Structure 1
Amino acid sequence: MYQFNFQPVFQNMDLLLYGAWLTVRLSVVAMLLGLIVSLLGAVAKTSGIRPLRWIADIYVEVIRNTPFLVQIFFIFFGLPAVGISMSPNTAALVALVVNVGAYGTEIIRAGIESIPRGQIEAGRALGLNPVQIFRHVVFKPALRNIYPSLTSQFIYLMLTSSVVSVISANDLASAGADLNARTFASFEIYLVLTVLYFLLALGFSTVFAAIRRAFFTYPAGR
């Protein structure tokens, strides 16, 4: 009979909590930078400039059709062959941004293309310039439509960040692996890690839901 022993886990809970904090920090920075990449990619894909569309299409298709593990190995182990070396934490951040940027590009593109053409023409008739039309007529309504999909992708990003431990980047998964190598309490450690990742995902979901209620829910009748 297996004897459960959570004492090594509780004695090193500070290590796991610090790993959870590193995961949150990595995920938030990757989300913000990934949102910028996604927006630029969506604008490129919906623009009338053909070379920009080709570049965005190639980027999205390559990233969406290759495993994230291969992408992070390419960035960390492959790029040094051409003189581009990064620390594990930097490579992890770059890989996450590149990955979520491709998926976010398609989500934002779909939101932009969901805006009726008549609204854009109405903005032009009111004398708005292209930047004002994109900001007020296209982007805001599109963001409201795609917000659930975009936040779901960001939560998936946070969970996917556990893969970065394979290149020794600092996060919750790597903290658990280090603790497991010292205590060999695998069942207990990874059970606690499962709970922590669940709580992190629940926390992100709660924050995103609060943002949605604050900025994207209109009073009845509007």
Structure 2
Amino acid sequence: MNALDFSVILERWPELLRGTLSTLGLALAGMALAMVIGIAGVTIRRSGNRFGSAVVVGFVELIRNTPFLVQIFFIFFALPLAGIRLNPTVTAIVALGLNGGAYAIEIIRGGVESIPKGQTEAGLALGLHPGEVFRTIVLKPALRAIYPSLCSQFILLTLTTSICTSISAFELTQVAQRIDGDTFRSFEVYFTVTAIYLLLSWVIMALLAFIGSRAFAYPTR
């Protein structure tokens, strides 16, 4: 049995660091796109437009009932047949955003529907524009209520970035596979990568908790 040798990790640490930063970038970009899709999807569903609502429902069902790997393969390998070619990084961001957005739609919708209709009616009675009522009276309290669920979904999205190595997107898992292939020190490499993913999840949770405490804090006076 070969003795453990973590010297390879020290030698290739710059590569692991770049892979970690790339993973973080993919995750944050995917989260931002997912939030845009989530809010837009809920807005369309509440607009009363039957066609738009049907499209959103179909999108949610399609994404939630198919594997992420199939989704990213479709974007990367199938869309070029229709003339749409995206590089691996852009493909990863789009796939993560679409996947996270489908779940965000349902999470946000649940939060919005938990807001009593009386609050909306009161805002309209005060002469507020429907868009302003939705943004200030409905959406913000709903996001405050569902923020922990969104955070959990975004942590899952961060870990899902590892699948993006299947299309050669540059991220932490791809770097790990490359180092493992060069050194054959599988235990050392994947032990370290596991620790990095764990640390990355903690950092993102702390960051999201800080943002939540600032964005959704109740007025003190």
* TM range, smaller chain: over 0.9
Alignment of 1:160-179 (within 5 A): 160-179=160-179
* Distance (whole Å) between structure 1 residues aligned to residue 85 and residue 140 of structure 2: 39
Deviation at 1:90, TM superposition (A): 1.3
Task: Please tell me the residue identity of whatever aligns with 2:193.
Answer: L
Give 1:99-178 correspondences, 5 Å limit: 99-178=99-178
What does residue 39 of structure 2 align with? Answer: 39
TM-aligned CA deviation for residue 219 of structure 1:
6.4
Structure 2 distance, partners of 1:44, 1:161, is: 28
Amino acid at match of 1:110: G
Q: Aligned partners of 2:152, 2:96: CA distance in 1, in Å?
A: 15
Residue deviations 1:2-49 (CA, integer Å, cap 9, x gap): 410111111101100110000111111111111101111111122211
Task: Please tell me whether the aligned partners of residues 115 and 138 of structure 2 are also in contact (alpha carbons under 8 angstroms).
Answer: yes
> 2: distance between equivalents of 1:162 and 1:27?
10
| Greater shift in the superposed pair: 83-92 or 137-146 | 83-92
**8 Å contact kept, 2:33–2:98:** no
Where does residue 96 of structure 1 map in the other structure? 96
Q: Paired residues, what number?
A: 221
Aligned-partner residue type, residue 50 of structure 1: R
Change over 3 Å in CA distance of 1:215–1:86 after alignment to 2 = closer
8 Å CA contact 1:43, 1:109 repeated in 2 = no
Match of 1:9 in 2: 9
Distance 2:209 2:200 in 1: 14
Letter in 2 for 1:183: T
Identity %: 47
Matched residue of 1:218: which SS? coil
Coordinate RMSD, CA, aligned: 1.2
Asked if the contact 1:46–1:109 (Cα under 8 Å) also holds between the matched residues in 2, the reply is no
Deviation of residue 153 (structure 1)?
A: 0.7
Say whether the 8 Å CA contact 2:115–2:142 is kept in structure 1: yes
CA distance in 2: counterparts of 1:38 and 1:2, whole angstroms: 50
On the 8 A contact 2:42/2:109 being kept in 1, the answer is yes
The Cα shift of 1:97 comes to 0.9
TM-score by length of 2: 0.96
> Which residue of structure 1 aligns with residue 183 of structure 2?
183
User: SS at the partner of 1:198?
Assistant: helix
Give the distance between the partners of 1:177 and 1:48, measured in 2 at CA.
49
CA distance in 2 between counterparts of 1:115 and 1:131 reads 16
The superposition leaves residues 110-141 of structure 1 with CA deviations (integer Å, 9 ceiling, x where unpaired) of 11111100000100111111111011111111
**Aligned residues of 2:44 and 2:52 also touching (Cα < 8 A):** yes
Q: Give the TM-score of the pair, scaled to structure 1.
A: 0.96
Q: Aligned residue for 1:56?
A: 56
Amino acid at match of 2:185: A
Task: Give the equivalent residue in structure 2 for 1:86.
Answer: 86
Tell me the secondary structure at the aligned position of residue 209 of structure 2.
Answer: helix
